[in-house]
Structure 1
Amino acid sequence: MSLSLYEITIPVFIRGLTNLSAILSKGSTYTDAQNLPGAHLLEARLIEDMGTLVYQIQRVSDTSKNAAARVAGVEPVSMPDNETTFEELQARIQKTIDVLKAMPADSLDGKEEKEIVVKTRSGEYTASAKDYLLTFALPNFYFHVTTAYDILRHNGVPVGKSDYLGLGAMKQRSSESSF
């Protein structure tokens, strides 16, 4: 049995967003414990010409929800880029997860050859839906998740590979179900 476009995207996006939410919570806890303003992390960036933590999370959200909408052929849910707090970013992540959970599998499946055109800063990217998801949307999603993780880690937040992969949450879910 082959994998469907839905299977290779929606659950992957939801898991990445869920892990990002947990990592972001650790960032909020860290700023509180260190008596730092939230802006210390929210406005942090790895290098001057890269986006801030807020920007990275907004791009994770946009990449996932817009990729699904493009392939499904529906209007993407608009979210203004106006978050300035950890709570607002968490709300955006949750809203994105809710949008993805509402996406029916049959809205993506069977559309592997649908032409997708994306306008980027460097021009237009045109590909089949399958190639768009595998060579553009998923790598872009992970780029911004990784950059958000790196910003937090670089600024002292105690996160590690298991947080990025969501292994702590998986272990907790596993132990909760094994009475």
Structure 2
Amino acid sequence: MSSNIKQLFKGYLLQLESIVNKVPPELFSVSLTDDMFSLEMNAKIAANFVLRGYYPLLGKDAISLMSDERGKAAVVRQIIETRELLEKLPEIHNLDDSKVITDKAGFSEIQLGQSDFIHQYIVPNYFFHMGMVYAIAKSKGVPVSKGDFDGLHSYPASFSFVRS
């Protein structure tokens, strides 16, 4: 299976950064409910999933650039540093499903071939956490759109499919 995982992940990080840059600093501690991660933690986890996915494809232990530093500047810095680190890593041209990657999914240990690891574990988890960033921001009135999420859609500022 031919793939351009590095370019895909770099694009994902740019979209996350686009959303994060629109969020006022005071919203980084907000979560959807009391038992969920904050916008800040979801953004950090999303960015971390890129490295958590890419390093094992190289046959290396994943690293994390997450820090205890808090706030918008820390999140933006982590996203940028993740993108810069990814840029320096070797390109992966093919996923090899004979290579099994072991990781933890919550309290479960998973073992997946490279394709399933990326497509069934890393990408859905990345988008879950990015989706939480988007949802929290949107719920607090931040003017984010589907275009910020995917980098493709475009709508006028006043446009709405749903009129109230």
Return the TM-score normalized by structure 1. 0.78
Say which structure is richer in helix: 1
- Percent identical among aligned pairs is 24
In 2, Cα distance between equivalents of 1:27 and 1:80 = 19
Residue correspondence of structure 1 range 27-46 to structure 2 within 5 A: 27-28=23-24, 38=25, 40-46=26-32
In 2, Cα distance between equivalents of 1:64 and 1:77 = 10
Q: 1:88: how far off?
A: 1.4
Letter in 2 for 1:85: G
CA RMSD of aligned residues (A): 1.9
Q: How many residues align?
A: 154
Indicate the SS of the match to 1:87: helix
Indicate the residue corresponding to 1:47 in structure 2: 33
Q: 1:91: how far off?
A: 0.7
The answer as to whether partners of 1:153 and 1:159 remain within 8 angstroms in 2 is: yes
Q: 1:75: how far off?
A: 3.5
Q: 1:58: how far off?
A: 1.2
* 2:17 maps to which of 21, 33, 40: 21
Indicate the residue corresponding to 2:159 in structure 1: none
Indicate the residue corresponding to 2:102 in structure 1: 117
The answer as to whether partners of 2:2 and 2:94 remain within 8 angstroms in 1 is: no
Runs of 4+ in 1 over 3 A off after TM superposition: none
In 1, Cα distance between equivalents of 2:118 and 2:144 = 28
Indicate the residue corresponding to 2:115 in structure 1: 130
The answer as to whether partners of 2:44 and 2:66 remain within 8 angstroms in 1 is: no
Q: 1:121: how far off?
A: 2.4
Q: Which runs of 5+ in 2 are unaligned?
A: 155-164
Q: 1:79: how far off?
A: 2.1
In 1, Cα distance between equivalents of 2:135 and 2:150 = 13
Letter in 2 for 1:17: L
The answer as to whether partners of 1:113 and 1:130 remain within 8 angstroms in 2 is: no
Q: Which runs of 5+ in 1 are unaligned?
A: 29-37, 170-179
- Give yes or no for the alignment of 1:163 onto 2:148: yes
Residue correspondence of structure 1 range 37-116 to structure 2 within 5 A: 38=25, 40-106=26-92, 109-116=94-101
Letter in 1 for 2:81: K
